[in-house]
Amino acid sequence: MLDLTGKNALVTGIANNRSIAWGIAQQLHKAGANLGITYLSDEKGKMEKKVAELVEPLNPTLFLPCNVQNDEEIKTAFETIQDKWGSLDILIHCLAFAKKDDLSGDFSQTSREGFRTALEVSTYSLVQLAGAAKPLMTAGGSIVTLTYLGSIRAIPNYNVMGVAKAGLEASVRYLASELGSANIRVNAISAGPIRTLASSAVGGILDMIHHVEEVAPLRRTVTQTEVGNAAAFLCSDLASGITGQVLYVDAGYEIMGM
Ligand code: 0WE
């Protein structure tokens, strides 16, 4: 049975009840994990309040601000984990951002600044958080990140995010290679398109979802819960032999030729 009791799990990337990270947090909780939740801090504390209310039923024992563009905040977050938990078993990375202008139009017109931002927030953040988690994963661990098919295919408008996800998947392999000797596994889930806050801000996402509903072997899109179940599996001892992989949770869409 899938059992995560006694495991300390840090979940990043919950923005609202449609976040894939929210689906993952719920399934980790159901499997018995002890949760720590991070949120993107803003000046007014609006996000903090919204996310705090949402996650309350999961009884998180840590609730921390973690903006990956702020080194101080990351340092403080992991010091708090060390103080309050002593060790970490699971890290869930569900963070991505590109400027809106860089998610449409000509990829060749991506600015240096836009390219840097996308790769800093969406790619480097995994390396950074894995590096911070490593000394806390004293009994081994599991790191799971989210990626998308746009890393290996040219998906219209995904543009610089595709490059960021390609870098993310390569980072998964290099991290898995390094951290394997500490029994820390690192994997990615490549989720099919889902209506979330991030994807809803993208023009044409509904057309993409309808296309998946016609073409994917299962003739539907996937849910946050299905991604959450795959994440719970990858974090569990049932996946003890799996590291460095990209697991497609996409209703089979990736295998299709059109
Ligand atoms: O990785 C993603 C979303 C990433 C994302 C979305 C936004 C929208 C709002 C990153 N940064 C931003 N910045 C914003 O200002 N997905 C896999 C969902 C997604 O995004 C797309 C997609 C799909 C699918 C963008 C273009 C085409 C398809």
pLDDT tens-digit series, residues 133-149:
999 999 999 999 999 99
Provide the percentage of residues in the chain whose pLDDT is more than 90.
94
Distance CA 19, CA 13 (A): 8
Is 255 annotated to bind ligand? no
Is 30 annotated to bind ligand? no
Q: What pLDDT shows up at residue 230?
A: 99
158 counts as catalytic: yes
Pick from 121, 118, 32: which is nearest to 69 by CA? 121
Q: Is 115 in the pocket of ligand 1 (CB under 6 A)?
A: no
148 counts as catalytic: yes
Residue with CA at minimum distance from ligand 1 atom 26: 158
Q: What pLDDT shows up at residue 61?
A: 98
| pLDDT tens digits along 107-127 | 999 999 999 999 999 999 999
**Distance in Å, CA 196 to ligand 1 centroid:** 9
**Distance in Å, CA 159 to ligand 1 centroid:** 10
Query: pTM, whole model, 2 decimals?
Result: 0.98
Q: What pLDDT shows up at residue 175?
A: 99
Task: Report whether CATH 1.10.1670.10 matches the domain 8-251.
Answer: no
Is 95 annotated to bind ligand? yes
Query: Any bridge partners for residue 189, and if so which?
Result: 146, 247
CB 107 within 8 A of CB 125: no
246-249 β-sheet, strand order: 62-65, 34-39, 8-11, 90-93, 141-147, 184-191, 246-249
| pLDDT tens digits along 22-77 | 999 999 999 999 999 999 998 899 999 999 999 999 999 999 999 999 999 999 99
pLDDT band at 198 (very low <50, low <70, confident <90, very high): confident
Q: Is 94 in the pocket of ligand 1 (CB under 6 A)?
A: no
Ligand 1 mutation target, pool 103, 119, 123, 254, most atoms within 8 A of CB: 103
Q: What ranges do the domains of the chain cover?
A: 8-251
Q: Is 209 in the pocket of ligand 1 (CB under 6 A)?
A: no
Residue with CA at minimum distance from ligand 1 atom 20: 199
> Catalytic one among 39, 148, 248, 253?
148
